[in-house]
Amino acid sequence: MDFTRMGKSLKPKVVIVGGGFGGLNAAKALAKTAVDVILIDRTNHHLFQPLLYQVATAALSPGEIAEPIRAIFKRQKNVLVIMIEVIAIDKQEQKVVLNNKETIDFDYLILAPGASHSYFGHYEWEKYAPGLKTVTDALKIRERILLSFERAEMTQDAAKRKAYLTFVVVGAGPTGVEMAGAITEIACKTLLEDFRNINPIETRVLLVEGCDRVLPSYSPKLSQHALESLQQLGVEVKLNTRVSNITTDGVQVGDEWIYTPNVIWAAGNVTSPLVKTLKVDLDKAGRVMVDPDLSIPDYPNIFVIGDAAHCHNESGPLPGLAPVAIQQGKHVAQIIRCSLAGENRTPFQYKDRGMMATIGRAKAVALLGRMEYSGLLAWLAWCLVHIMFLISFRNKVLVMMEWMWAYITYQRAARLITDRTSADT
């Protein structure tokens, strides 16, 4: 089936799978290139994942961190957006296979399918411990958090009340640290005066990490700052501890069984199964072992970027961060332009501008170049960077206003329970 709306165009066709940071920036970078771009995603929106935890903790609404993909490209006439799922790649025939069994030809292919949460073989845990990758995930977690306080308010059983007021976050990377800090702030600040039969300050928030420090990818100094900030908030941090079982009743954390319906998974990622259909070498995390220019071996017109790519720099494999995917998307677009002009392609070189994670109100850690920051200065930098990365001016303004209101009042505007059935599943 011909999905192009450009008529019988003779321009090279670039198919991009995934509307995340990598795919979006690749398509934008091809705006003035003589190609037809087909951007395929199974949702109709680009999601700013670094702020997804704020939807899960009722600080922001989904529309403030997401933007319809069609709206983003409405003025870029060489881009056609299709909402459908790609289930396979046929390298030899130069086609992508859709879940309706139809295919789309390509001259160049950019794979940016992202990743989902990994349960390290225990996929039965997913229904008890949701991860945080999509708007649906975030809303489900938000419902669980808010419903737990409501149920604690109604029960007369002390054991049940304790379970409802207990939250376990598995994994102390940036997402886990941010979630644990945000839940504690909800209990101790936002909901403090909202209930009559419970005291939200009695909420127990545990952050469980298998390594010997939180934020393992950061320097020991920043990890220690993050640990101290979490402890100041009241988060109970368990290091060198692993989860061995999760059920509807609770979670086994090391030698302790914790009764709670509130387990949130932030412990790992697994690459989209789509990349397996490429039939190329993968690393232990399922990422494609790409060549230095981000193409796959023997197929210089097929590229893999973002969370799905295993790409090295001087210090090892690049992390699955938004700046990595953005730079890779732009680099692949440049390679396509060079190929069309008959010029040599260059290897990808990541420009590391730092990492940052927020723990709570005016608490954050940041590595910017060789400088390390913590506290208020790091938090302000975190706010500024995340505002800049949002796609639309509208979202920048809305998020900034929400943060200012929350900073002044400690209130979270999106504390709505709308789908109790979803929260219970």
Which residues carry out catalysis?
178
Convert the chain into a string of H (helix), E (strand) and C (coil): CCCCCCCCCCCCEEEEECCCHHHHHHHHHCCCCCCEEEEEECCCEEECHHHHHHHHCCCCCHHHCEEEHHHHCCCCCCEEEEECCEEEEECCCCEEEECCCCEEECCEEEECCCEEECCCCCHHHCCCCCCCCCHHHHHHHHHHHHHHHHHHHHCCCHHHHHHHCEEEEECCCHHHHHHHHHHHHHHHHHCCCCCCCCCHHHCEEEEECCCCCCCCCCCHHHHHHHHHHHHHHCCEEECCCCEEEECCCEEEECCEEEECCCEEECCCEEECHHHHHHCCCECCCCCEECCCCCEECCEEEEEECHHHEECEECCEECCCCHHHHHHHHHHHHHHHHHHHCCCCCCCCCCCCCCEEEEEECCEEEEEECCEEEECHHHHHHHHHHHHHHCCCHHHHHHHHHHHHHHHHHCCCCCCCCCCHHHHHC
